[in-house]
Structure 1
Amino acid sequence: LTHKILEMEERHKEEMDTLKEEKENLQSLVTRQSYIIQELEKQLNKATTNNSVLQKQQLELMDTVHTLITLCSKEGVLLKNAKKEEEKPFRDCADVYQSGFNKSGVYTIYINNVSDPKKVFCNMEINGGGWTVIQHREDGSLDFQKDIFE
């Protein structure tokens, strides 16, 4: 009987030692998992902050685009859905101006009795707009009265 009790005590001690070791392993695992959870929470906070910043930047960008669209429509710049000047056969810059284009620039016109369309510079700001620029002097230094045989 004493021998049996000693055996049981020895098994009990071994089981207790195994349980203590498992408890220590579990505590170590819980500590590591707690650290990982804390790190994940930090990363989640960073991601949430970044997402908020990105959303703010997206709103600012949308406001800027809206402002640009409004500005372009006020300035007479054509938008994607508007008719392009190439789609309409203009006879001269006055025709271009009367069609609603009020920005000086290069436009395509179709001159009577000329088969190919011509690209010309139209001045839309001086003297009421709609002027086809034939010659343009910057400072008067270029003499346009040239001899034909030169």
Structure 2
Amino acid sequence: MTRMTDTHTTLALRLLQVTDDFRAGLSGELSAVHGISVNEFLLLLHLERSAANRLSRVDLAKRMHVSASTITRMAAPMEKIGLVDRAADARDARLVFVVATEAGRKRLSEALATFSKRAGYLFSDRWEDQEVDRFASMLRRLMAGSGDTLA
């Protein structure tokens, strides 16, 4: 049993390391090329992938695993530069949604191209197509029940 736990710990630590490395490289490129952070990219992506292309601060916070106040702090500068806007619910004016603007959707589209390029580099020089397909299947199993909202 100890061997299994050690293997699981090692694998989980490696997942964190690969994620951190990928995020660090992506962060520099998104900032330099598109003027947004990884978190701002993810916020826009969550909005774009939501059913109504809008989410409440609470729903965004749940999806991004942060607090609603963090979403407020993230969205404020994005609103100032025109990437997101606020929209009140038609039935309940107390409920406010974060909505991507046309400029935000355009910025996301451009940033997604950068993200896709980086993702390609992550796999293409190390893995065969069959290995990528197998990994994708295993990753879907790993994420089962996690509420995958981005892919």
TM-score grouping bracket, smaller chain normalisation: under 0.3
Q: TM-score, normalised by structure 2?
A: 0.28
Bigger Rg, structure 1 or 2: 1
Q: TM-score, normalised by structure 1?
A: 0.28
Higher percent of residues as helix: 2
Question: Which is bigger in relative contact order (C-alpha 8 A, separation at least 6)?
Answer: 2
